Amino acid sequence: MAPVVAGADATPLNVDEFEAYARTYLPKKTLDYYVSGADDMVTLKENRAAFTRLKLMPRVLRDVRHIDTATTLLGQPVATPVCIAPSAMQRMAHPDGELASSAAAAAQKTCFVLSTISTTSIEDVAASNGAGLRWYQLYIFKDRELTRDLVVRAEKAGYKALVLTVDTPILGSREADLRNGFALPRHLTMANFTGGKHAHRVNEVGLSQYTKELFDLNITWDDVAWLKSITSLPIVVKGVLTPEDAVLACDVGCQGILVSNHGARQLDTVPATIEALPAIVQAVAGRAEVYLDGGVRRGTDAFKALALGARAVFLGRPTLWGLAHSGQQGVEDVLKMVTSELAHAMMFSATTSIAEIGPNYVRHEAYFRSPSKL
Ligand SMILES: Cc1cc2nc3c(=O)[nH]c(=O)nc-3n(C[C@H](O)[C@H](O)[C@H](O)COP(=O)(O)O)c2cc1C
Ligand SMILES: CCCCC(=O)C(=O)O
């Protein structure tokens, strides 16, 4: 039977249908920037394929009347472990941009991470996110005073953690963007830098050149220690893919590790995040919370990540698709869909709380080919 495919005007029933809508609706330059991975996009495919290679091992005949997706992130309660990853330039998807996605996160009682490269300011997002849980994603600039200023602003505006992205000394090579000469459209601004010496440069020179000019190639674990010395906020290090770096992050006092390959947009041919996760969870051994992003599109993906030790998952592109579709409502729908799919996976697996979802609930498909050897 042919698969059922929604028309452009049908209400999307899943994340892929939101993406299909965005693909017909967004201008080419914007769409290419959002969808692309680096180089040959090998890792982009892997982020999805690796989830498919994991099979669920549901238990049965337990009471599943009450399924609870609530958990905590660094001590703060959330109604769902399905959160919003930091993604840049959200007003290209919808005029309300980050205001809409942060309000959606608050309405769905989950965590919103604001990108440094946002088109809405730290303070305006705080106002729209209200009592919601918000974290601030930080890039360390060559200009450490500018960096310190961002940290102080995030603290003052009630962000509860700094998410330090460490996989971006330069921008990955996204070839469609190179071909399109992608830059932030002129009617939008880098909202955290207006009025200062960096205002508007990214509209002129594009993201890649901007990064080359302003980001520091000499960022080390000492800078994480420096960051710790200037803030009381917990630090989540984003972009770790090896157990070695996860241990160093714990040693320097990071409270969270976000296992991420930046949505496959930086170094191509790194492993899928779901495959990098187990060794990191093992190496961290409870010294920090471990999270995952990359390729999470269904509740079953979230379930697999939780089973392998992630405390929460973060959605990147899916919330951009929701935003493009219908602003805050679209982002809320995406969060609700993936959370409700997760709740279904929990019910089908007879796990009623997040804490119950452990490694016994997944097996790599290779097991079924030669169970005796694994
Ligand atoms: C359009 C776009 C912009 C992004 N901007 C940022 C950013 O500013 N800072 C950052 O740390 N990560 C950024 N990311 C990476 C995401 O935080 C996240 O790691 C990734 O999107 C997760 O993969 P997924 O898109 O498959 O869900 C961006 C990703 C996309 C797709
Ligand atoms: C300097 C990079 C900001 C945006 C980003 O992280 C991305 O496009 O993936």
Q: What is the ipTM of this complex?
A: 0.99
Residue 194, annotated ligand binder?
A: no
Is 115 annotated for ligand binding?
Answer: yes
Among residues of the chain, what percentage have pLDDT more than 70?
95
pLDDT in tens, 125-181: 999 999 999 999 999 999 999 999 999 999 999 999 999 999 999 999 999 999 999
Of ligand 2's listed atoms, the one at least distance from the Cα of 116 is: 3
DSSP three-state, residue 183? coil
pLDDT of amino acid 6: 53
Confidence tier at 1 by pLDDT (50, 70, 90): very low
Q: Cα–Cα distance between 312 and 93 in angstroms, integer?
A: 25
Residue identifier of the C-alpha nearest atom 9 of ligand 2:
265
Contact between 314 and 81 (Cβ < 8 Å) = no
75 versus 194: the higher-pLDDT residue is 75
Where helices occur in 54-164 by DSSP H, the ranges are 97-107, 122-129, 144-156
Give the residue, out of 26, 262, 267, 315, with the most ligand 1 atoms within 8 A of its beta carbon, to mutate for a pocket test.
262
304 lines ligand 1 (CB under 6 A): no
**Per-residue pLDDT tens over the stretch 207-217:** 999 999 999 99
pLDDT of residue 195: 75
| Alpha carbon distance 154, 33 (integer Å) | 27
- In angstroms, what is the span from residue 315 Cα to ligand 1's centroid? 8
Question: Cβ neighbours of residue 61 under 8 Å, at least 6 residues apart?
Answer: 350
Decide whether any atom of ligand 1 lies within 6 Å of the 316 Cβ: yes
pLDDT of the residue at 3? 44
Which tokens sit at 270? Answer: 């790194």
91 annotated as ligand-binding = no
Give the closest residue to 302 by CA, choosing from 60, 42, 83.
83
All structural domains of the chain: 15-364 (3.20.20.70)
Average pLDDT value for the chain: 95
Whether 374 shows a pLDDT value over 60: the answer reads no
Mean pLDDT of the region 33-58:
98
Q: How far is the CA of 90 from the centre of ligand 1 (A)?
A: 11
Those residues whose C-beta lies under 8 Å from the C-beta of residue 85, and which sit 6 or more positions away, are 113, 260, 263, 293, 314, 315, 316, 319
Residue 261 alpha carbon to ligand 1 centre in Å: 9
Whether 229 shows a pLDDT value over 90: the answer reads: yes
262 is in an annotated binding site: yes
Ligand 2 pocket, CB under 6 A: 88, 117, 168, 171, 207, 211, 262, 265
Active site residues per annotation: 262
Interatomic CA distance for residues 218 and 12, integer angstroms: 44
List, for residues 247-270, the tens digit of each pLDDT value.
Answer: 999 999 999 999 999 999 999 999
* Residue closest by Cα to atom 8 of ligand 2: 88
Tell me the best of 114, 117, 258 to mutate to test the pocket of ligand 2, counting ligand atoms within 8 Å of each CB and taking the most. Answer: 117
| Residue 117 in contact with ligand 1 by CB distance below 6 A | yes
The answer to whether 33 is annotated as binding is yes
Cα 72 from Cα 311, distance rounded (Å) = 8
Residue 126's Cβ-count burial label (10 Å; 0-12, 13-18, 19+) is buried
- Atom of ligand 2 minimally distant from the CA of 174: 8
**Which residue shows structure tokens 């050897």?**
373
pTM of the model: 0.97
Mean pLDDT throughout 196-203?
A: 69
- pLDDT > 60? residue 8: no
Nearest CA to ligand 1 atom 28: 87
**Ligand 1 within 6 A of CB of 262:** yes
Q: Find the mean pLDDT for residues 50-67.
A: 98
Q: Is 115 in the pocket of ligand 1 (CB under 6 A)?
A: yes
Count of Cβ atoms closer than 10 Å to residue 332 Cβ: 21
Q: Which atom of ligand 2 is nearest to the CA of 33?
A: 8
